[in-house]
Structure 1
Amino acid sequence: MTRVLLFCILAFFTGWYGKQSSGKLTALHSRQGLPHFFQKMQSGNPVVIAYLGGSITGAQGYRVQTEQWFKEQYPRTPLKTINAGVGGTGSDLGVFRLQEDVLRYNPDLVFVEFAVNDGTDSLKISNAMEGIVRQIKQHNAQTDICFLYTISEPMIKQLQQGNLVASMRFSENIAAHYGLPSINLGVDVLDQLEKNTLVFHGQKGTDYGGKTVFTYDGIHPGDAGHQIYTNTIRKAFEEMKSLNASSAKSVLPAPLFAGNFSQTGVYSPKEFAHTGGWKSAANMPEIKGWLTALPDLMYTDNPKDSLTIRFKGSTIGVQDIIGPSSAAALITIDGKQTIRKLRFDRHGSWFRRNFYFLDPLPDGMHTIVFKLDPAPINKTKIVIPSELGDTAKYQPNYLYIGKIMMVGEPAN
């Protein structure tokens, strides 16, 4: 028995568990469908649809196109949609954004799209995706959920072999456990590739003789690419209409993963002990556009300043800003270990919202101290040369902290 259990555990973490057999991929796994959503759309009562995902969701693409299609199908139903797409982020941040960006609007349907950004970390994906599902269902058991699997160029070969990539496989385990529908948006793209009617990664200005160009960067669909995604969703929804609410699970099943992120907290850094040198970023014109998401964003240029967080739990992370003036953090864990987090990268010529997590900690009490690393950073050597611009903007070195995320709760 022990050997069988060990094999199952190893199989999961080596990517065998949940692997779809080679063959033709299926665009829709309807499972228990979206019965509550369809009932409410047909009733004529107001409906809220939230789109949680990355930049593909945030774009004016399938999200806007499906919203228009829903309005055409149900013209008497007042429909509100929520754009909860944040570029370059996966389910690990999505589960912490969920309460503020989605659930406070009391959605009737939540699309979840993180397949491209989620990578291959099985436990991280599983804990985050299950946390998203459980938080939604704990908020309202009748909110329906639909997983969407978008694709990027590196995924094509494996998908063409009939095998789901890691992020899809791990998400499918969650979807199957909770009876949630999932739509693989890559199936129709691959079908057109096979028919030689589509170019997946095109070059602007090139004539492809009437073929559809799906994307110009290997990731983000153009208008025509988004229309393919929309058509796949439309066909899936037409198929799911026939499922009824009586088949849906009314009781939330036991979790698959004991460490799932169903109990998360997001806090202002001002709520924690910090020295007096920290400043508000509210008066920095270059940061102004990010203050809606990070209203209490603060920064310091003094390595002696510190932010100290005591909490009971297992996971802690920071939402921040990366840009020309960002630097590196020195983070001391329980007074024993100090790690460095570089908060600057090759795209550091422009400001953008970002985040990071510390490695998982043993569940219990912890004290985390954040400081600015005084070590110099040769930013002009890191930035992509074509994006460099005026080098003077890289001279400041600030540690930015906008929100604190944790699985657990702050200590008194």
Structure 2
Amino acid sequence: MYRICSLLALSFLSLPVFAQPAAYPPAFDDAREETYKTIGDVELKVWIFDPPDHQAGDSRPAIVFFFGGGWKAGNPAQFEHHCRYLASQGMVAMTADYRVSSRHETLANKSLEDAESAIRWVREHAHRLGVDPNRIAAGGGSAGGHLAACLGVVPPLSCSKPNESATIEVSSLPNALVLFNPAVLLAPFEAISLGKSDEGIDKFIDIAKRTGVPAQRISPIHHIHPGLPPTLILHGEADTTVPFVTAKRFAELATAAGNRCELASYAHATHGFFNYGRGGEPGEYYPLTLARTHTFLESLGYLENPPAVTLPHSKNVHYRSHFDHSRHAFENDKRGTVAFLGGSITEMNGYRAMVQADLQARFPETQFTFINAGIGSTCSTTGAFRLEEDVLSAQPDLLFVEFAVNDDQDASHASRECVRGMEGILRHARSTFPKLDIVVTHFVNPSMLGQLQHGLTPTSSGSHERVASHYGISTIDLAREVAERISAGTLTWKQYGGTHPKEPGNRIAADLIADLLDTAWSNPIVNHPRSASHRSAKTIDENSYSRGKMVAPSAAKLGKGWKVRRPDWASLPGSKRDRFSDMGLLCSTEVGSECSLEFAGTGIGLFVLAGPDAGVVEYSIDDGDTRALDLYHRYSKGLHYPRTVMLDADLERGKHKIKIRVANTKNETSLGHAIRIIKFAVNQ
């Protein structure tokens, strides 16, 4: 990891490319456009990003990038940000066009011939371009990575042609390779399988139809030999398009042949993981892979300084999106609203208070409004339904969320409920306020700690991480950080403070959040004006609680035995939280008593207080079958326990009516049949 806060990764400052499909051919205000090859009426362009103060006659290192797209499609704009960053660091960086089937009715062999022509053109025109002809790197992603790999490994396909300025005597061999999830295996090799295509066709058969020459002829892994250019491969271990095993085996064989071939692998990363991202914000892996690329090029003498990429200190801080909206509010408007949503870890005077103090110290002239929307014992399901009322109504600029511990130990949620709750929160928040900056923190309990120490990912934190990553929302994996520190002997569970952390544990959480904000706020606001929204994403679960809303008891139609009232707490066994003391609840203890609610949506649930006398609720929806649900919880014995129970979360969208009745059965541990409803939870 690198941290050079004084420097600015200029590629982070460019205009968003992937907020919508980039225009073809691309147009860059700060790049020179030249034609490197003409075939008939097709002019193939290269866009050149020059370093500051660069002059013709200089002898700068250069890199030429080739876009991905399966030799079918793609756009040179894919590597705009990489080019702009590397140019800012002293290299001449270029992104080249080449022929693809969708635009030129060609196959992969012609794409490779064009890539060879591009390198020869740069080398022949090196003096005019201010390039060192002996320090030219080739880079690319996926099919573009294949082309770059072929340039360094496979014997050239093309020879000089009348319409090319460069002759065959000018080499197309790069001096270095930077390959992002490259397709290095195109034909059967050893026991490696590429699997099936989306249409169920063996991928080797599909590839053979697209190569234009025998696939093995341009399959880099089949041509490994001593004397290859120094190579860096960056590959996601979860890549199913270009399986990670192909890159791993290529690196092993290249190294065994005496070559320098470095493989940087990224757990959980899928195909295209390295791209800049969408909506004008860098993807999670973009800064990581950019810093790794910089380090590799620096080791070759192509770059002089360490990476000018700001990354978090901890690998458990996942920086996925900018925080420019909140920073603008705090820094320019001198006002800001910060909300904290979660369970008792949020509600208590712990990490929340530390983060509040940190923000006030960062922006001493800012008038902050801090919202404590933590409610002890509640899970992400409850959070999703009360989000609108308790958080979004205040129009926050920055939102902190934590529910991993309560989803695990209080609600005992399976993955589906963890996803539905967290997606409900994050999607609802971003749908309402697309500019809202959000941080999700995964706290830890003994059960989760044990799983992590055995190499397992807890269901709650793993599911929440999946949702946050999908929506490009930054996270703090405190649970993993604590597990790693304990395993390393630098922390004990006692020092951390337990499930409800003591001061040292909360300090770790607050410091990791500070690490994230340092990363996000280390550079001036240039790329993301206040009007910029965060990117959106497709829904993971169509019935997640992203339209959740709490409905007051007064909306119900009450039958005999039901009343909205403040319970006589003094006469009831069990303790209760002060926040519920004066609250009017929809109550009944009379077996057989009924009430009903008309609602519109796909889900209905109850936010209840389930104490020592909690009963069983019977219910039917739209006059359907009667179902029953026991409200008594394992924590109900001594506490009127707040919990949200979903009665049906998979209804057809539309209007519905639910009838609720106090059952004549009860939990054998319960002292009664009481149903006390704080609010109805409706997924509209």
1:263 equivalent among 547, 556, 576:
547
- What is the deviation of 1:192? 2.8
Task: Tell me the distance in 2 between the aligned counterparts of 1:188 and 1:291.
Answer: 35
- Aligned to 1:220, the other structure's residue is in SS state coil
- The structure having more radius of gyration, on CA atoms, is 2
Alignment partner, residue 209 of structure 1: none
Which runs of structure 2 are paired with 1:9-408 in the superposition (5 Å)?
A: 20=268, 26-43=315-332, 45-119=334-408, 121-160=414-453, 164-200=457-493, 202=494, 213-216=495-498, 219-242=499-522, 244=525, 246-247=527-528, 249-250=533-534, 252-282=536-566, 284-286=568-570, 289-291=578-580, 295-347=583-635, 348-364=637-653, 365-375=655-665, 377-379=667-669, 394=671, 397-408=673-684
- Aligned to 2:386, the other structure's residue is in SS state helix
The answer on whether the counterparts of 1:371 and 1:399 sit within 8 Å (CA) in structure 2 is no
CA 1:19 to 1:197, structure 2 compared with 1: closer, same or farther past 3 Å?
closer
- Aligned to 1:99, the other structure's residue is in SS state helix
Task: Tell me the distance in 1 between the aligned counterparts of 2:592 and 2:449.
Answer: 49
Alignment partner, residue 114 of structure 2: none
Task: Tell me the distance in 2 between the aligned counterparts of 1:123 and 1:226.
Answer: 29
Q: TM-score, normalised by structure 1?
A: 0.79
CA 1:118 to 1:3, structure 2 compared with 1: closer, same or farther past 3 Å?
farther
The answer on whether the counterparts of 1:330 and 1:373 sit within 8 Å (CA) in structure 2 is yes
- What is the deviation of 1:187? 4.2
- What is the deviation of 1:359? 3.8
- Counterpart of 1:339 in structure 2: which amino acid? R
- What is the deviation of 1:149? 1.3
- What is the deviation of 1:30? 0.9
Identity rate, percent = 26
- What is the deviation of 1:245? 6.5
- What is the deviation of 1:85? 1.2
- What is the deviation of 1:271? 1.2
Structure 2 unaligned runs (5+)? Answer: 1-197, 202-239, 241-265, 270-313, 571-575
Task: Tell me the distance in 2 between the aligned counterparts of 1:366 and 1:285.
Answer: 34
Higher relative contact order (CA 8 A, sep 6+): 1
- What is the deviation of 1:60? 1.0
The answer on whether the counterparts of 1:52 and 1:111 sit within 8 Å (CA) in structure 2 is yes
- Aligned to 2:406, the other structure's residue is in SS state coil
CA 1:169 to 1:378, structure 2 compared with 1: closer, same or farther past 3 Å?
closer
Structure 1 unaligned runs (5+)? Answer: 5-10, 12-17, 203-212, 383-393
Task: Tell me the distance in 1 between the aligned counterparts of 2:638 and 2:469.
Answer: 43
- Aligned to 2:527, the other structure's residue is in SS state helix
- Counterpart of 2:319 in structure 1: which amino acid? S
Task: Tell me the distance in 1 between the aligned counterparts of 2:512 and 2:457.
Answer: 17
- Counterpart of 1:398 in structure 2: which amino acid? A
- What is the deviation of 1:40? 2.0
Task: Tell me the distance in 2 between the aligned counterparts of 1:354 and 1:52.
Answer: 15
Q: TM-score, normalised by structure 2?
A: 0.49
CA 1:313 to 1:188, structure 2 compared with 1: closer, same or farther past 3 Å?
closer
- Aligned to 1:104, the other structure's residue is in SS state helix
- What is the deviation of 1:148? 1.0
- What is the deviation of 1:258? 2.7
- Counterpart of 2:658 in structure 1: which amino acid? I
- What is the deviation of 1:117? 2.3
- Counterpart of 1:240 in structure 2: which amino acid? A
Task: Tell me the distance in 1 between the aligned counterparts of 2:644 and 2:551.
Answer: 14
- What is the deviation of 1:377? 4.8
- Counterpart of 1:367 in structure 2: which amino acid? K
CA 1:164 to 1:26, structure 2 compared with 1: closer, same or farther past 3 Å?
farther
- What is the deviation of 1:162? 5.8
- Counterpart of 1:113 in structure 2: which amino acid? E
The answer on whether the counterparts of 1:126 and 1:260 sit within 8 Å (CA) in structure 2 is yes
The answer on whether the counterparts of 2:543 and 2:650 sit within 8 Å (CA) in structure 1 is no
CA deviations over 1:353-396 (Å, ceiling 9, x no partner) = 222112433314543211112235543xx6xxxxxxxxxxx4x5
- What is the deviation of 1:174? 2.7
CA 1:359 to 1:192, structure 2 compared with 1: closer, same or farther past 3 Å?
same
Task: Tell me the distance in 2 between the aligned counterparts of 1:221 and 1:357.
Answer: 30
Task: Tell me the distance in 2 between the aligned counterparts of 1:129 and 1:353.
Answer: 18
CA deviations over 1:42-99 (Å, ceiling 9, x no partner) = 2252111111111211121101111112112211111121111122222111110101
How many residue pairs match? The answer is 366
CA deviations over 1:98-157 (Å, ceiling 9, x no partner) = 011111111110011112222453332223322222222233222211111112222224
- Counterpart of 1:234 in structure 2: which amino acid? A
- Aligned alpha-carbon RMSD (Å): 3.0
Task: Tell me the distance in 1 between the aligned counterparts of 2:424 and 2:432.
Answer: 12
Task: Tell me the distance in 1 between the aligned counterparts of 2:322 and 2:566.
Answer: 45
- Aligned to 2:510, the other structure's residue is in SS state helix
